[in-house]
Structure 1
Amino acid sequence: MPRLLRSLPALLLAPASAAGIIGSSVTTTQIQQSAFCQQYTCGEPFVRGRDWQYPFTRYQGLTVTRESGEPGSRVVSVQLWVRNDGLNATADRQAFQQMQKLALGYVPYTGPVEPCYAAMSTRTLVKAPDERATGVTCELWDSTTDFTVNADPAYMTRTAPAPVTISSGPTKLNTWAFTTCVGAGGTNSYLTMGEAARCTLRVTTKGEQSAVVKAELQYEIEYVQNGQYVKKLLPEKELWLPGRAPGPLDPRLTQQGRAIDLNVSLAVKKVPGRRVTSVNTIARLTFANGAVKTAYEPLLVR
């Protein structure tokens, strides 16, 4: 057997101490210079809040999710997504293995990917491959099949850098993420297609503490129609002002210290031939001290 073939399993199954970006602080430049992006020509990412998205073929893309949108934030998940109208077991398996190597520095799962094409719920392929990750998983969605490496929360807590004082300096947004969507179908972490729901965007601040005196909201919708990906900014804007009685569909805002909850009414109509993948919220917050900050956060649609 040629030496290269004999050494290939060892390269794929390198020790857990090998380099990988999961749980680490990285820059877009570091990712673009990685072996993965050198092979797949990632290019500049689309920045969506905490996510860096690298679509590298017509059917495949890489998403790197960080703890927050702040520079130096650590990676909490690395995901390969494949459009369901372009599934290819050979190409997907190769990209999946290279994604694992990017995330962990080695490849814990080398098996077939075909079972993931029918995984209607999260399928765990490898549980806790090392202390940094909870597992290697896959899941089938309406428009994509996703392969994911998730960071272990306990590891992230244990290795977190010393906390930075958040009470000094100008007002800035610290973290933001959707927490829940409540609709007729119950409480979920995503928006259900064809169902109205009220979803809560939790925002925290750092620096000088100040009250929100105005919130402006605008939305984007992302969908696939006739094989084409579309990202559309909706022209309508919503406004929240303190003291104004909200209507049943108006946004609501509550604030306790540095925690701000924006509760918005969202719904996505079913359109034949269209698969909506995400509704993105753009929240522009004006504070009493004059600071104006913007949070951009995608919300998954299923």
Structure 2
Amino acid sequence: MRRLLRYLPALLLAPASAAGWLATSASPAQIQQSSFCQQQRCAAPDAYGRTWDYDLRATGSHVLRVQRESSDPASRVTSVSLLSANEDVNGEIDRRLFGDVQRAALGFVSNAGRLEPCYALDGSTYRVLSTAPDDRTAQLYCDWDEAYTRFVIEADRAYLTRTAPTPVTISSGPTKLNTWAFTTCVGAGGTNSYLTMGEAARCTLRVTTKGEQSAVVKAELQYEIEYVQNGQYVKKLLPEKELWLPGRTPGPLDPRLTQQGRAIDLNVSLAVKKVPGRRVTSVNTIARLTFANGAVKTAYEPLLVR
């Protein structure tokens, strides 16, 4: 507690650009050089897939998480989150710091209220803090697992689609992956943008390409799970692989692939069993796509588990 209080002056309201990072192509370097990161002494980011994590050294117990449309650091920011370690919770510091994150991501503060209800979540639900504060923002919400309480600013998908830039060289050059993201998960409980713990669902990973247009002739899929057990964070690569080939009739749990031009939809069957003492936070899909022109490209995409 004394360590956090020592850094309290650094958590005072920080200036940010009028536009903020959300739904823009703010680069990892621009974020690290921002007023927010200068005040919070952001460490160099750990990047995996389309996620960039910056440890905030000013407190030692927070992480700034920035997710993008793809692993391309020039792609647009789709969400900005503050992760607060549950072992060192201070609600007032979290409130002030999340206000600074909102200024950096949005250019203004949408929610300045107390965050204590977020710490009472059980890991199976989330709490909406603000809905559509502007046209580019879907919502602000919080959720909880055994390691972190997360405070999330999420971009509006319709806004991202409506304002998507047209790549100048999308039809020239070698085949590359342009964007990828999970769009929906359909299970017994309905349609969601996340996977529900203990419930089987079919989830769609949408991939778009740029460069030379070519048909997918093979898709190989492998999965990782991230979970917290006995207070320890674990990231585990599962050994099993799934294969999609054109013309092969898929079984009920097999992956399916459809392609229309540059848009590729991979529909996969996912489920996470409930294990006592274990809280799964993410299932990560590694999709290795082979194209008819010989190009082989890989998409790595986390899927939130609630």
- Tell me, which stretches of 5 or more residues in structure 1 are unaligned? 1-7
After TM superposition, the score normalised by the length of structure 2 is: 0.82
- Alpha-carbon spacing, 1:127–1:208, altered in 2? closer, same or farther (3 Å): closer
2:181 to 177, 185, 193: 177
In structure 2, give the amino acid aligned to 1:62: L
Note if 1:244 corresponds to 2:245. no
Query: Alpha-carbon deviation of 1:78?
Result: 1.2
Match of 2:90? Answer: 88
- Tell me, which stretches of 5 or more residues in structure 2 are unaligned? 1-8
Note if 1:30 corresponds to 2:54. no
Equivalent residues of 2:49, 2:71 under 8 A apart: yes
- Which deviates more, 139-148 or 189-198? 139-148
Match of 2:5? Answer: none
Equivalent residues of 1:66, 1:74 under 8 A apart: yes
In structure 1, give the amino acid aligned to 2:18: A
- Measure the CA separation in 2 of the matches of 1:184 and 1:126: 26
* Alpha-carbon displacement from aligned partner over 1:223-242 (angstroms, at most 9, x marks no partner): 11111111111122111122
| Counterparts of residues 134-149 of structure 1 (less than 5 Å) | 134=138, 137-143=140-146, 144-149=148-153
| Counterparts of residues 1-302 of structure 1 (less than 5 Å) | 12=13, 18=18, 20-56=20-56, 59-84=61-86, 86-118=88-120, 120-125=125-130, 128=133, 133-134=137-138, 137-143=140-146, 144-151=148-155, 161=165, 163-302=167-306
Query: Alpha-carbon deviation of 1:157?
Result: 6.3
Equivalent residues of 2:14, 2:100 under 8 A apart: no
- Measure the CA separation in 2 of the matches of 1:193 and 1:162: 37
Say which SS state the counterpart of residue 30 (structure 1) adopts: helix
- Alpha-carbon spacing, 1:43–1:13, altered in 2? closer, same or farther (3 Å): closer
Query: Alpha-carbon deviation of 1:92?
Result: 1.3
- Measure the CA separation in 1 of the matches of 2:137 and 2:241: 40
Equivalent residues of 2:69, 2:180 under 8 A apart: no
Match of 2:3? Answer: none
Query: Alpha-carbon deviation of 1:105?
Result: 4.0
Query: Alpha-carbon deviation of 1:121?
Result: 4.3
Query: Alpha-carbon deviation of 1:276?
Result: 0.4
Equivalent residues of 1:138, 1:148 under 8 A apart: yes
After TM superposition, the score normalised by the length of structure 1 is: 0.83
CA RMSD of aligned residues (A): 2.9
* Alpha-carbon displacement from aligned partner over 1:119-142 (angstroms, at most 9, x marks no partner): 7544234752x565455x222344
- Measure the CA separation in 2 of the matches of 1:298 and 1:37: 25
* Alpha-carbon displacement from aligned partner over 1:154-211 (angstroms, at most 9, x marks no partner): 7656765454242222111111111222222222221111222221111111211111
- Measure the CA separation in 1 of the matches of 2:257 and 2:248: 11
- Alpha-carbon spacing, 1:18–1:263, altered in 2? closer, same or farther (3 Å): closer
What is the aligned residue count?
Answer: 290
Equivalent residues of 1:238, 1:250 under 8 A apart: yes
Query: Alpha-carbon deviation of 1:84?
Result: 4.5
- Measure the CA separation in 1 of the matches of 2:30 and 2:77: 13
Identical-pair percentage: 71
Match of 1:4? Answer: none
